[in-house]
Amino acid sequence: MVATDTDAEEAATLPRRRYGGWSRLAAGAAVWLVSAVGSYLLGLGWISTLLIATFIASVTCYWGSYLTKRVARAVLAIAIVATGVFFMVRLLPGNPVDVYIAKIVAEGVPYEQAAAQAAAFYSFDPGTPLWQQYLQYMWGLLNGDFGTTLTHVPVLEKIGGHLPWTLFSVGLAMIISVSIGLLLGMIMAYRRGGVIDHSISAIGSALHAIPNYLMALMIVVIGGVQLRLFTLADIRGTYSAGQTPGLNMEFIQDAMYHATLPVLAYVLTTVGTWALIMKASTTQALGEDYVMVARARGLGGGRIGSMYVGRNAVLPLVAQIATQAGFVVGGAIFVEIIFAYNGVGYTLYRAINDRDYALIQGLLLVITITVVFANLLADLSYGLLDPRIRTAGKEEES
């Protein structure tokens, strides 16, 4: 069903070899030390040194373990995506420096001089061979250096200024959406076939069918233009023009006000899906023997609902919630553009328009890393939350 169940199955079918405890640990420590000294001498920063040494040591000495394998796969995926993005962005026509040079040459400045001027203004030199640029970029990444934007701001700093807004709006929406969805789903499962079940099902599928950016447009047209609940010019953006970011009531209120519309768009389009998934999961849990036993023991409905049904119904959803959380950051791009919400998606859109290579790479890499880590967490949570998967080999077939 979910993308991740195959990995849980791998964890299950993997032969559980016992490694020769101390000798393996010693070998791991030795490899760790060698690679740590090696990468430090190569000129890496100390945080990267520690991470890389740990990675090399665990991969070489604990390769059979599921955790190592899974982490190695995640790192490989990130490396390949980083490489792909690097070349894709550069193979495409129209780099910003050429545009700039063409503009100055048209004003009568000789080409050489124009090129020098452009090189001085932009932190990007198209004359460097591609492979050299690539090696520089990857080496920078290992050091935690994402390069600088065209206007000489470090990419990480730039991303750091926008990522919190996306995380804030998307995170808030997910918390609201998941909790309402799970609650509605349980009610639907308890009242199967009733009026509530049918009406929530119908509304849920209708809302699920509407793409989130169309929902955002509808909110603007119906709420802002027809009903005049808000003025679009005021509510656009992340916070009002006069405000300075800080931890005071006024600013938080303002930020919440500006987040309302994006959050509403996300919640409306996802809450139905969660309700329907939770309904299926609860229906299954309600049919289990232990629920019947709990009823026979005379336990109260509320206790059964929360302790016996609710927990077991939510369990299979945790991995799905984690997977979704990863995708949502990348999917926020449309809604952020419509509401001019100054998060990662909106920044990426402007970076693409400005052909700001370093910023595009950095943003895509951050989005990739979020997805990879969300998937990693989802995979690991399977084994941790449901012990049956670790022991029963046949679980793979569900």
Partner 1 sequence: MSVLTPSPSIPRHGLFYRLTRNKVGVAGFIIVGGIIAMTLIAPLLLDTSVPGDAQNTWSGPSAQHWLGTDNAGKDVLHQVLLGGGTVLFVGMTAAAITTIIAVVFGALAAYLRGPVDSFLLQATDIVMTVPQIVLLAVLGSFFQLTSPTVLAILIGCLSWPILMRSIRAQVLSLKEREFVEAAKLLDLGTARVVFAEIVPNMAGYILINFIIAVTNAIYALVGMYVLGLAPLAGANWGIMIRKAWTYGAMSLPEGTLFMMAPVAMIALLQLGLIMLTRSLEEVFNPRLAEG
| By CB under 8 A, residue 67 contacts partner 1 | no
Specify the residue, 32 or 339, whose C-beta has the smaller distance to partner 1: 339
**Residue type at 323?**
T
**CA-to-CA distance for 270 and 153, rounded, in angstroms?**
36
Residue 300 φ then ψ, to 5°: -70, 155
**Backbone phi and psi for residue 251, each to the nearest 5 degrees, phi listed first:** -70, -40
With CB under 8 A as the contact rule, the residue among 367, 377, 378, 380 that binds partner 1 is: 367
Q: Is 256 in the site for partner 1 (CB under 8 A)?
A: no
Kindly state the DSSP code that residue 299 receives in the 8-state scheme.
-
Q: Which of 58, 60, 260, 55 is nearest to 169 (CA)?
A: 260
77 binds partner 1 (CB under 8 A): yes
Please list every residue from 212 through 241 that binds partner 1, using CB under 8 A: 213-214, 217-218, 220-221, 224-226, 232
Alpha-carbon gap, residue 140 to 168, rounded angstroms:
29
Comparing CA positions, the residue from 140, 123, 251, 312 lying closest to residue 304 is 312
Is 181 exposed, middle or buried, given 0-12, 13-18 or 19+ CB atoms closer than 10 A?
buried
Look at residue 292 and give its three-state secondary structure.
Answer: helix
Q: Phi and psi dihedrals of 244, rounded to 5?
A: -110, 130
Q: How far is the CB of 33 from partner 1 (least distance, A)?
A: 30
The least distance separating partner 1 from the CB of residue 230, rounded to whole angstroms, comes to 13
Check binding of 353 to partner 1 (CB under 8 A).
Answer: yes
Kindly tell me which residue out of 15, 20, 93, 242 binds partner 1, with binding defined by CB under 8 A. 93
**Which of residues 28 and 262 has its CB atom nearest to partner 1 in the complex?**
262
DSSP state, 246? S
One character per residue 264-293, x = contact with partner 1 (rule: CB under 8 A): ----------------x--x----------
Exposure string over 27-37, b if 16+ CB within 10 A, otherwise e? bbeebbeebbe
Q: Which residue number, 238 or 375, has a Cβ lying nearer to partner 1?
A: 375
Reduced to 3 states (helix: H, G, I; strand: E, B; else coil), residue 148 is strand
Q: In the bound complex, what is the minimum distance in angstroms from residue 221's beta carbon to partner 1?
A: 5
* Distance from C-alpha of 358 to C-alpha of 362, rounded to nearest angstrom: 6
**Residues 318-347 as x/- pattern, contact with partner 1 by CB under 8 A:** ---------x--xx-xx--xx---------
Judged by beta carbon, residue 44 or residue 278, the one nearer partner 1 is: 278
Closest to partner 1 by CB, 57 or 371:
371
Q: Which residue ranges make up the site for partner 1 (CB under 8 A)?
A: 1, 3, 5-6, 9, 73-74, 76-78, 80-81, 84-85, 88-89, 92-94, 192, 205-206, 208-211, 213-214, 217-218, 220-221, 224-226, 232, 280, 283, 316, 327, 330-331, 333-334, 337-338, 348-349, 352-353, 360, 364, 367-368, 371-372, 375, 396-398
